[in-house]
Structure 1
Amino acid sequence: MTNQPDDLLAAVHDACTDLIRAGKPVTFAAVTERTQISRTTLYRRRDLRQLVEQHRDPAGEILTLTSLAIQLDQLRQSLDAVAANVRRHEEDLRALKRTERAS
C-alpha cells in the first residue's frame, strides 16, 4: 500500500465498511489489523481518526474528542463572523454619529 493520503483514507474506509458488514465492532485495533496502518497514524491524522470514529458511531450519538474539537472550531468560526459583523455595525454607527455632529 502506498502512503498517499487518498489511499490511506480509502483503505480506512474500506476496513471500516468491511467490519460493519461482518457485524464486528469498528475499533482502531481492528482497522490497524486490516490496513496495516499504525494506530499512531490513525490517531495522529485527524482525517483518519475522524473516519474511524464516524464508523464507530454512524448515528453520531457519541461525543468524541475529535467531534468536540470540530464543533468547537465551527463555533469559534461562527463567533468570529458575528464579532466581525458587530465591529462593522459599530463603525457604521460611529460614522453616522460623526455625520450628524458635522451637520
Structure 2
Amino acid sequence: MTGLPDHLRRATRSRSEAAEQRSRTALSGLVRNGKPINFTAVARAAGVSTDFLYRHPELRALIERHRAKGGVPAGSVPEQTAGSSTSSAVRVLSARLTQEQKARQGEVAKLRKALEVAQGENLALRRRLARYEED
C-alpha cells in the first residue's frame, strides 16, 4: 500500500499549519482580552477541534501554561461580582434539575414494578400454555 500522493500530503500539511496558526492567534487574542483560557475556548475561537489542540504538543503546552496562570487580568471585574447572577441562575437550574431527577426516578420505579408484574403474568401464561401443549 502506498502513501498519499505528494499534492495531498502538501495540502494536508498546509491545512494543519493554517489551523495551528489560527490556534496561536486565537490564544493570543484570548490572553490579550483577558478571557478565560481553556481548550474549548481556544478551539472555538480558532475554528478547530479540541482534539487538534490536544494532539499538538506545543499548542497543548501553551494552553496549559496560560490556563495555569489563571489570574484575573488587571482592570477586570472579580468573578464573584460579575458571576453573582450567573451563580443564582445555576442554583435555580440545579434545583429544577434535582426535582426533575426525583420525578424521573419515581417514574422509573413505577415502570419497573409494572414490568415485574407483566413478566410474572407472562411466565404464568407460558406455564399454562405448556400444560395444554403436553396433552
Q: TM-score range by the shorter chain?
A: 0.3 to 0.5
TM-score for both structures, normalised by structure 2: 0.36
TM-score for both structures, normalised by structure 1: 0.46
More RCO (CA 8 Å, sep 6+): 1
User: Whose radius of gyration is greater, 1 or 2?
Assistant: 2
